[in-house]
Structure 1
Amino acid sequence: MKKLLLIVFVLGVLATAPFIYERFSVEQANDTYEVVVPELHLQGFENWGLEEQQVMDHLKNAGVHAFAVEPETIDSLANSLALVYYDKHAFVQEHPDAALEFQNATGFFIAPTEGNDGLFEQTIAAFGPNIQQTTYTNEDGQPLYFIEGGQWQTEKPITYNMERIDQLKSEGFGIVLRISNAVDEYNNDLIDQMAQIRETYGADQVLFTGEKVLGMPKQQPVYNGDDSQKEDELERYTDFFKEQGFSVLQIEFYDQEGFQTYGYELGNRVLRLHSLDLYDNRPPESYIERAARGVKERNMRVLFVNMFDAGKLEAGSLTPEGMLQNSANTIRGIHQAIPDQFEHGKAQPFAEISQPIWAKLATVLAIAALTGLLLLELNKTLAYIGIAGIVLGGAAWAVLDIGLIAKALALFVGMIVPVAAVGQALNVKDKKDLILRYVIAAGLALAGSWIIVVLLYGNEFLVKIDEFRGVKILYVAPIVLIALYLLFKNRSWFGYFKEPVRYYQVVILVVIAAALSYYLMRSGNSASVSGIELQIRAALESLLYVRPRTKEFLIGYPIFIFAMYLVMKGHRLANVLYIGAVIGFMSLVNTFTHLHIPLGLSFLRVVYGLVFGLLIGLALIYVWKLAVKGYKRFLLPRWNR
């Protein structure tokens, strides 16, 4: 029975090898990243007296590839003097006789400027019934128009500045189109304009602004619709973007409501974006390090660099020339820090990856066989029940494509594989067997990770539209399971509670307590890290390309090696150390549950951890031998007097 299950497990894993290779190849082929800066920041430097050509030349030489362009708004048109803006207070001061007429009205006034008639007509059309011409004029004799609504109306997108886009393209820059959710039936021509820009200038990347993507319901009083309208709007816009061949940019660490819908509907046309604010009071090295790590380790393909801060200029801490030079130097440093395997240019989406139903079924059989192998150690009937449950649930996922089942299976594998890796080493015969058990444990953990990668397979996981669920459970469950398993296999342990405590037992318990305490402190994204450790991490990354995980090579693996040595020497309670050892293999599996991290990089990280962990474990054995010799030679004789 065990041999049959082992054969099924191995064959099930190997059958999915083409898909591991496919994902690795897709990640390796997508090696182009781009640096994008806001076009508004270009205007910012111009407003502070720098020549436009000077700024663009600096940015081009620094390696900026594209500008993110937003549609014109009342605010931007007023700043560029394409129209004149009056708030209600200023209007009433100029026209006191109108105070009574507009005393209960909420809104503001605009007037056209000479030479911008066409743009002003677009503005009127964009506000529909919310704008009306008044009987009043400004000091230049231009008619005043009243726009009803709050200040949010000044940020409503009106039209893209085609002349500006043409100018930027002529300078050799790409265009990323930014769009907010403030689009309604009156300014919906913007969407057709986006299609025109994509066709004319190749601008096929879209970056949403604000907390909600285009098509989500707006806040009152802008939106008065219901959920059905929300679904219709989202479907309309996602269909449009899909038909036009647009890609959407996903901002890391910033969840925009509704973005997941775009991610699923557009399939592989999602690019990951990491945003950097060069003036949020961090050292320049931190921006360079963050950007390089994002491209290398998290599949970031767009770096959005906020390079201008008017507040710093107003405070006098920087001059415009100094800020421009500093921004250019930082961008240049980012390019230098990113490994040579990546090139700078226009970022492209990952090629589409998918798997047929037979591959899913092969994965299910592998999980069922692994489950059976583990449960056979406990009870034969229980093993049959476990196998049947996995086959039925897995078949439902494979046939009906129920994603929740796939995630549940992935979590299940992540929980049991570390236990299997450690549990197979409860009996160690000699030194060769110790090394063999270590290799087998690593192989089992890697095989389990392989299964998780194939279970959660698709572009939505590659770019973190969707992800592995249950990381917190994965941190704790293997420790609990291995403890229960050890108690089941060593029921005689309960008798030790009646015996006197020995020194080596205290040492073992102290090691376990220290390891678990350190593990709990270091688990999760919010764990604190000392300055010295940050320097060590940076040095390891510089030397090794990617640093191994501390929980693996400093805790889990050395404890595992040491535990197997003590088991080999016949220490009765040495198996207790396996509770700490399971942390290393849990961390190995956890590495591969970060599905947005390139497979090759995760594998390299794991190999480093296994090699260094083995060496440190062997060193720990050597130190233990010295300690035992010292104990027998110096301490034991004194205690026996």
Structure 2
Amino acid sequence: MSGLYLRLNKKLLKWLWVLVILGVLASLPLAFVRNETEQDTAQKVEFVLDYRDLLEISDTQTDPRSFVTHQLTEAKKSGIYSMAVYESTLNEFRLSRRIEVFSSHEATALTQTPVLPNENFTYILFADKEAQTKLQPLIEQTFKSLNVKMRPWSFKNQAGMIIEMGMEEANLKTMDPDPIALDTLKEKGFKIVVRMSNRRPFDAAQMNALLARLKQQYGVKRFVIDGETVPGFINENNHEHLDAMAELMKKYNIGLAVIEPLFQKVPQKGFSRLAKNINYDVVRLHPLTEKDGEKLTENITEPELRQREIDVADRLVLAVKDRNIRMVFLNAKAVRSVDKGTIINPLDSIYASLQGENGAIPRIQAAGYSTGVAEKFQPAYPGWQKIAKAVAWVGAVALITLMISYFIPQIALFVFVIGLIGSAGLYVLSPSLFAQALALGAGTSAPTLAIMMAIREARAKHQAKLGSRIAYAIVLLLRTSLVSLIGACFIIGLLNQVTYALVLEQFRGVSVLHLMPIVLVCIYWLLFSEESTYKEKLRKARALLSSNISVLWVVGAALLFAVGFYYLSRTGNEGQTTALERVFRSFLENTLGVRPRTKEFLISHPLFLLGAYLCVKHRKAALLMLTGVIGQASIVDTFAHLHTPLEISLIRVAYGLSFGILIGIVFIIAWEILSRSWRRWTPLLQQE
């Protein structure tokens, strides 16, 4: 039985590469379909200004209404054609100067009537007849639904009403968006984006009437969720209202915008289900937050302010090009400046960051996008996709098996069969988990396998010592990178869903993808890279584990831990960088259009090239090639950012290899100069 198993295992080892290649070939059409989706659909970028922020800033001005009118004109000149309007509150009506709101204490002072100690009501005065006509029914409908009593009130022939609820609480109650504001913005040519919350009890009839009015009168096409839950969400087990909300949104062809995860503490509850039920009519939104705006109001010099405006522009351009952002949400806030002795706001600087020679909008347009109402991606799901993914599934399991076979070749057949059965069971349990697990396994295996193959090749070359060393090193780097790209192909093929492009689902395990290849390659180098029996490998492992630990070892381990922690802290969307590096990154981005990864072209690829060059003469120089695993893992990780367009990822990898080879050649030249100088001068120094 064991003899039969070993024969089958030996045959399988020959066929694993065939299965891997078939899996790659099946993934390529899926990559092509994704690229077509990214290149041919959703090419409009929508810039949206928070209208409530505008009202809050106007409250600090001497002529609030004139200020708002002027800013709307300036916003349109700068390329902002959409305004975000919230569901209204009494406080927002007050900021708009449509009503004045008083507590019972303030009302008694105003009317000079005796204080009523048992009363804590809210008093409202309407600014004019239009405000009363359009807002009073809205206010009455809201508080009537809460069973709050109301009655008319007036002061000096100015109409108003009394709401029998404390002012602090009354100011929190949410009602339909301000119809006067909507009419004003429509007249001035702005598109409307509504901030919709879940703060009111869900009523299908009222929601239907609201959505009909928003769509038919104001052409609303998209909601941005305001708060932690989407409209209609009750809990994770009750979806009745949520599904009803989805049906209404489909009825009126209204979509959603999803805020980038980096700017949300937790995902908004119910968002994924609502997005799925409206057929993923969703665009990605990048916010310029109030905190970001405050940086444009600090007491700095004019050149520093201009640079910060350029930094904002760089950030917005990068978001659109690199992360498929189609809606930019602009926030602003009035700030008290003690140094300047006035209240200032960042609006002018925000406008400046959008227009001008270095402005975000001209640069975004130059990159092939246009400004307008954001549109969803239109992904294609051809009938052959399931077959292609099935072939990619087998190829991914084969790739993982190949990587493991470099450690223990005798278990390849067992691993392959168990891998197929286990992954099939995982698919039945959760198709999403199945795809992510296989993608992570293939993505980890490819760079690991690439470096292990390169180490074997380098040692074979050391024995042969034939041909041009520089040409050999370059070819080896390119061939190694090609093997790593196999992992990228499987990630693209297995995770070919719009949910990943919109980051409604995230590819977990990026840290594993960075760290595990390093660990596996180090284990391979220490124990499995040389021909020896398993007993000898075990003896070597025991010797390493039982070695005396010196202070130098402890210091070295601490340094490795620090380097590893720093390396991992820089991975993912929340990676940390220094100010100097951000300047360098910005320079690369603006010069090349797409920024190559620093760890690839400055560190990993050049050192790999130097190691491959030296290993022809010096066997231990292959140790330098181990650093290449960082760059190879980075190549795969580039494609694991599924919200980044494929074209951008390909250009980034190509730049990384091109510049890495050039810098590697510089390393080789420097090495030759130093080594020849050392050989020339050492005998002379010894003679002296």
- TM class, shorter-chain normalised? 0.7 to 0.9
Corresponding residue of 1:549: 597
Give, in angstroms, the shift of residue 557 of structure 1: 1.1
**Which residue of the other structure, out of 8, 12, 15, is the alignment partner of 2:23?**
12
Corresponding residue of 2:352: 329
Counterpart contact for 2:125–2:158, Cα < 8 Å? no
Corresponding residue of 1:209: 226
Corresponding residue of 1:294: 319
2:276 maps to 1:264: yes
SS at match of 1:172: coil
Cα distance per residue 1:313-357 (max 9 Å; x no partner)? 99755678xx65444322212212323311111211111344732
SS at match of 1:131: coil
Rate the CA distance shift 1:110–1:53 in 2: closer, same or farther, 3 A.
closer
Counterpart contact for 1:157–1:182, Cα < 8 Å? yes
Task: Map 1:51-62; keep pairs closer than 5 Å.
Answer: 53-62=69-78
d(CA) in 1 for partners of 2:476 and 2:128? Answer: 83
**Which residue of the other structure, out of 484, 496, 504, is the alignment partner of 1:445?**
484
Percent identity of equivalent pairs: 27
Rate the CA distance shift 1:324–1:197 in 2: closer, same or farther, 3 A.
same
d(CA) in 1 for partners of 2:108 and 2:75? Answer: 45
Task: Map 1:555-634; keep pairs closer than 5 Å.
Answer: 555-571=603-619, 573-634=620-681
- Bigger shift: residues 141-150 or 300-309: 141-150
Task: Map 1:464-483; keep pairs closer than 5 Å.
Answer: 464-483=503-522
Corresponding residue of 1:422: 451
Unpaired stretches in structure 1, ≥5 consecutive residues: 218-225, 499-508
d(CA) in 2 for partners of 1:242 and 1:319? Answer: 42
Counterpart contact for 1:12–1:366, Cα < 8 Å? yes
Task: Map 1:158-197; keep pairs closer than 5 Å.
Answer: 158-185=175-202, 189-190=206-207, 192-197=209-214
Give, in angstroms, the shift of residue 397 of structure 1: 5.4
Corresponding residue of 1:351: 378
Rate the CA distance shift 1:368–1:289 in 2: closer, same or farther, 3 A.
same
d(CA) in 1 for partners of 2:180 and 2:246? Answer: 28
d(CA) in 1 for partners of 2:220 and 2:272? Answer: 22
2:563 maps to 1:489: no
d(CA) in 1 for partners of 2:163 and 2:641? Answer: 53
Corresponding residue of 2:122: 108
Counterpart contact for 1:204–1:247, Cα < 8 Å? yes
TM-score (norm 1): 0.86
Rate the CA distance shift 1:528–1:67 in 2: closer, same or farther, 3 A.
closer
- Bigger shift: residues 597-606 or 177-186: 177-186
Rate the CA distance shift 1:314–1:377 in 2: closer, same or farther, 3 A.
closer
Give, in angstroms, the shift of residue 518 of structure 1: 7.1
Rate the CA distance shift 1:403–1:292 in 2: closer, same or farther, 3 A.
same
Give, in angstroms, the shift of residue 83 of structure 1: 4.2
Cα distance per residue 1:428-447 (max 9 Å; x no partner)? 32435433322221111112
TM-score (norm 2): 0.80
Task: Map 1:394-433; keep pairs closer than 5 Å.
Answer: 394-396=423-425, 402-426=431-455, 427-428=457-458, 429=461, 430=466, 431=469, 432-433=471-472
d(CA) in 2 for partners of 1:566 and 1:623? Answer: 13
Corresponding residue of 2:303: none
Task: Map 1:478-557; keep pairs closer than 5 Å.
Answer: 478-486=517-525, 487-490=527-530, 519=567, 522-523=570-571, 529-557=577-605
d(CA) in 1 for partners of 2:99 and 2:562? Answer: 69
**Which residue of the other structure, out of 391, 397, 421, is the alignment partner of 1:368?**
397
Counterpart contact for 1:45–1:55, Cα < 8 Å? no
d(CA) in 1 for partners of 2:593 and 2:153? Answer: 68
SS at match of 1:548: coil
Counterpart contact for 1:364–1:395, Cα < 8 Å? no
2:242 maps to 1:234: yes
Rate the CA distance shift 1:422–1:514 in 2: closer, same or farther, 3 A.
farther
Q: Which amino acid aligns with 2:135?
A: L
d(CA) in 2 for partners of 1:263 and 1:186? Answer: 20
Counterpart contact for 2:202–2:231, Cα < 8 Å? no
Q: Which amino acid aligns with 1:450?
A: C
d(CA) in 2 for partners of 1:38 and 1:470? Answer: 35
Corresponding residue of 2:84: 68
Task: Map 1:34-183; keep pairs closer than 5 Å.
Answer: 34-43=46-55, 48=61, 49=63, 50=66, 53-80=69-96, 82-91=98-107, 99-102=116-119, 108-110=122-124, 115=129, 116-117=132-133, 119-127=135-143, 128-133=145-150, 140=157, 144-148=161-165, 151-183=168-200
Cα distance per residue 1:359-396 (max 9 Å; x no partner)? 22111111122123233333344111221133223434
Give, in angstroms, the shift of residue 607 of structure 1: 0.6
Corresponding residue of 1:506: none
Give, in angstroms, the shift of residue 295 of structure 1: 0.8
Give, in angstroms, the shift of residue 91 of structure 1: 4.6
Give, in angstroms, the shift of residue 516 of structure 1: 6.4
Give, in angstroms, the shift of residue 462 of structure 1: 0.5
Rate the CA distance shift 1:417–1:317 in 2: closer, same or farther, 3 A.
farther
Give, in angstroms, the shift of residue 183 of structure 1: 1.7
Give, in angstroms, the shift of residue 286 of structure 1: 1.8
d(CA) in 2 for partners of 1:114 and 1:63? Answer: 33
Counterpart contact for 1:158–1:190, Cα < 8 Å? no
Rate the CA distance shift 1:315–1:237 in 2: closer, same or farther, 3 A.
farther
**Which residue of the other structure, out of 280, 283, 295, is the alignment partner of 1:281?**
295
SS at match of 1:301: strand
Rate the CA distance shift 1:199–1:517 in 2: closer, same or farther, 3 A.
closer
Between Structure 1 and Structure 2, how many residues are aligned? 617
Give, in angstroms, the shift of residue 207 of structure 1: 1.1
Counterpart contact for 1:159–1:190, Cα < 8 Å? no
Give, in angstroms, the shift of residue 43 of structure 1: 4.1
Q: Which amino acid aligns with 2:436?
A: K
Counterpart contact for 1:138–1:144, Cα < 8 Å? no
Counterpart contact for 2:204–2:245, Cα < 8 Å? no
Q: Which amino acid aligns with 1:489?
A: S
**Which residue of the other structure, out of 253, 257, 260, is the alignment partner of 1:249?**
257
Counterpart contact for 1:70–1:178, Cα < 8 Å? yes
d(CA) in 1 for partners of 2:152 and 2:676? Answer: 102
d(CA) in 2 for partners of 1:112 and 1:82? Answer: 6
Counterpart contact for 1:561–1:614, Cα < 8 Å? yes
SS at match of 1:178: strand
2:407 maps to 1:378: yes
d(CA) in 1 for partners of 2:618 and 2:254? Answer: 65
Q: Which amino acid aligns with 2:139?
A: T
Counterpart contact for 1:373–1:383, Cα < 8 Å? yes
d(CA) in 1 for partners of 2:112 and 2:520? Answer: 79
Give, in angstroms, the shift of residue 399 of structure 1: 6.1
Q: What's the C-alpha RMSD, in Å, of the aligned pairs?
A: 3.6
d(CA) in 2 for partners of 1:555 and 1:153? Answer: 60
Counterpart contact for 2:335–2:343, Cα < 8 Å? no
SS at match of 1:547: coil
Q: Which amino acid aligns with 1:215?
A: G
